[in-house]
Structure 1
Amino acid sequence: GAMVPATYEGGEGGGTWHLDLWPDQGFHLRRTLADGAGAPESFAGRWHANGEALVLDLGAESLELEVRNAQRLRPSGAPEDATDDLVTDGSLDPATISLPASGMFTYFADAPTFVHCATGRMHPVAQEGDYPALEAAYLNDRPGLAEPLFVTIDATIAPREQMEGPTRLTVIVDRYGATWPGEECASAAAAPSLTGTVWRIRSLDGEDLAWAPPAREPFFTLHDGAGIFNASVGCNTMMGGFSADRGSLSFTPPASTMMACPDDLAAWEVRLGEVLGATAGQVIAGRTLRLLSSDGAVRAELEAVYLP
């Protein structure tokens, strides 16, 4: 098997890889493309052994590396001459990675910590960058004193010297995202997909959409193959096109059935149309989907109720 803890480095087709492995089955990977274009890609997650292979869980996909021997890993499709192999001398020299991150944040006794959901590893948090926004949101939304709160951030994870003890991988908050009270890493790991899931519309522009049986459930669904969406606040059904790419999401102006609706539902329909027209992005954490405007403001919150 592979050595752990250890850093494996090498290249694939002219690109560069830096892979850090830990015994708790966490990993960090930083790689650049063969032509050197664009910023390095960063990933964090868990690895597992599968026969003679080491499998990295990248979230949306997995990456398989052939274990040639304890010091050498070979990416799938790499040449047999070993020129693209990743090799280690048995030492661990963690890379600096930058990526969107979700996890459980805790602040107590001036010692903030972050448990990264992707790896399960706990890191100290540097009180710099956009950290003040994260701490303020935590103090406002935390479930109790020193209790963890699920948050999303854009983070850099880098080796940093500590006031006491050895150098540790430390989270630097590049951009605070949001808090998600009630969510936790276990639910985020089983997050539903954007398309194919039936979402219940919970709120629009921060105002809760009241619903209870036997009234018709407010719903929202995106159909991947057809590129269309259906939505309703409980009366007419809207249908239109959508475009999604990673975190971006936009909608075409929808058509709608023409039933007469109670005044309150008619007003909600108008607001839903406005929200969809202003949507430029989305983020999913746990079972919650948030639709975002171009400036990052939350325009709608939806809850997964039926999974594909």
Structure 2
Amino acid sequence: MKLLPWVMPALMLWAMLAGCAESPTVRQLQEIRSGAPPAGSPKTPSGFRLPATFVGNLPCADCAGIRYQLNLWPDGLFFLRTTYLEKPVAAGETDRFDEIGLWSFSADRRKLSLRGSRGARESFTVVRPDLLRKLDQKGRPIASELNYDLTRQKTVEPLEPRLLLRGLYSYYADAGRLKECFTGRTFPVATEQDNVALEVTYLKLQQEPGQWLLANLEARVVRRPKMEGAGEQPVIVVERFIKILPGETCETSMSTTELEQAY
């Protein structure tokens, strides 16, 4: 059977496009280096400008108060630090807890909800664009004369969460990146501190270039200038490499609570 003159070039073009579309390593590398916010970033109430830092001292049952610092980023990520004020701390324990996660607003844009990687499920009513008021665990107003308000600061205050992270790690074209399990976001990994141990172990265990392998880390999330374009992006700094789990995925690995108990 003789092919029409245009058929063979069309088939070759289709094969080339299909190969590019199914090359996750190239696509994901372009995504992480672009630094662009994910498509469909959540919408905010009118006048609610981001990024923003909200701070407040909220009631505590057994301490002087719980200081909240909440940093909200335009792409739907949040950083949260809660510090238990004047609370006795035993050796090896801490009075400060960091978390990263995803934020969203209700359909009427009156309620802000947080879903954190350490299990936090908190919500706030938007009193004004510069004032959030904490709600109870069922998302209802708290009947109390105590202060449950977080106020917006004039500038975005620095916050570098330190926490256990679990995610799919890949090293390709001299760039490491981590697809964090809870948020599903892919972060560049800085070439400093215990990153060498992570890279060396990964290169021993990978079966093909750019393969994604599940890794457990103690890390810090920092804001750094983008490799391309203006602005900043979150970057993972590995403070302690724990291990890589070949064959595991985010869905089949242990929960965050189990991870904390194991290390």
Q: How far did residue 143 of structure 1 move?
A: 4.1
**TM-superposition CA deviations, 1:179-210 (whole Å, max 9, x none):** 1223334x16xx6769xxxxxxxxxxxxxxxx
- Alignment correspondent of 1:88: 152
**TM-superposition CA deviations, 1:246-301 (whole Å, max 9, x none):** 844xxxxxxxxxxxxxxxxxxxxxxxxxxxxxxxx3xxxxxxxxxxxxxx7xxxxx
CA distance in 1, matches of 2:208, 2:55: 43
Name which of 242, 245, 262 aligns with 1:180.
245
For the pair 1:75 / 2:134, whether they are aligned, the reply is yes
**TM-superposition CA deviations, 1:225-258 (whole Å, max 9, x none):** xxxxxxxxxxxxxxxxxxx99844xxxxxxxxxx
- Percent identical pairs in the alignment equals 29
- Alignment correspondent of 2:162: 98
CA distance in 1, matches of 2:173, 2:130: 42
Closer/same/farther in 2, CA of residues 41 and 83 from structure 1, 3 Å limit: same
- Alignment correspondent of 1:21: 72
Closer/same/farther in 2, CA of residues 171 and 55 from structure 1, 3 Å limit: same
- Alignment correspondent of 1:54: 112
Give the SS at the match of 1:107.
Answer: strand
Retained in 2: the 8 A contact 1:26–1:120?
Answer: no
Closer/same/farther in 2, CA of residues 193 and 99 from structure 1, 3 Å limit: closer
Q: How far did residue 41 of structure 1 move?
A: 0.6
Closer/same/farther in 2, CA of residues 76 and 35 from structure 1, 3 Å limit: farther
Larger RCO: Structure 1 or Structure 2 (Cα < 8 Å, ≥ 6 residues apart)? Answer: 2
For the pair 1:144 / 2:195, whether they are aligned, the reply is no
Give the number of equivalent residue pairs: 198
Give the SS at the match of 2:98.
Answer: strand
Retained in 2: the 8 A contact 1:103–1:152?
Answer: yes
Pairing of 1:186-197 with structure 2 (within 5 A): 187=251
TM-score (norm 2): 0.63
Q: Choose between structure 1 and 2: higher helix proportion.
A: 2
Closer/same/farther in 2, CA of residues 98 and 70 from structure 1, 3 Å limit: same
Pairing of 1:127-166 with structure 2 (within 5 A): 127-161=191-225, 166=231
CA distance in 2, matches of 1:114, 1:81: 44
Q: How far did residue 47 of structure 1 move?
A: 2.1
Name which of 71, 76, 81 aligns with 1:30.
81
- Alignment correspondent of 2:139: none
CA distance in 2, matches of 1:61, 1:128: 30
Retained in 2: the 8 A contact 1:26–1:121?
Answer: no
**TM-superposition CA deviations, 1:124-171 (whole Å, max 9, x none):** 212222111110121122242123222110101122356765443221
For the pair 1:9 / 2:35, whether they are aligned, the reply is no
Retained in 1: the 8 A contact 2:85–2:95?
Answer: no
CA distance in 2, matches of 1:115, 1:193: 16
Where does structure 1 lack aligned partners over 5 or more consecutive residues? Answer: 195-243, 249-280, 282-295, 297-308
- RMSD of aligned residue pairs (Cα, Å): 3.2
Closer/same/farther in 2, CA of residues 7 and 119 from structure 1, 3 Å limit: farther
Retained in 2: the 8 A contact 1:15–1:36?
Answer: no
CA distance in 2, matches of 1:9, 1:3: 16
Q: Choose between structure 1 and 2: higher strand proportion.
A: 1
Give the counterpart letter for 1:74 in structure 2: R
Where does structure 2 lack aligned partners over 5 or more consecutive residues? Answer: 1-44, 60-64, 89-93, 137-141
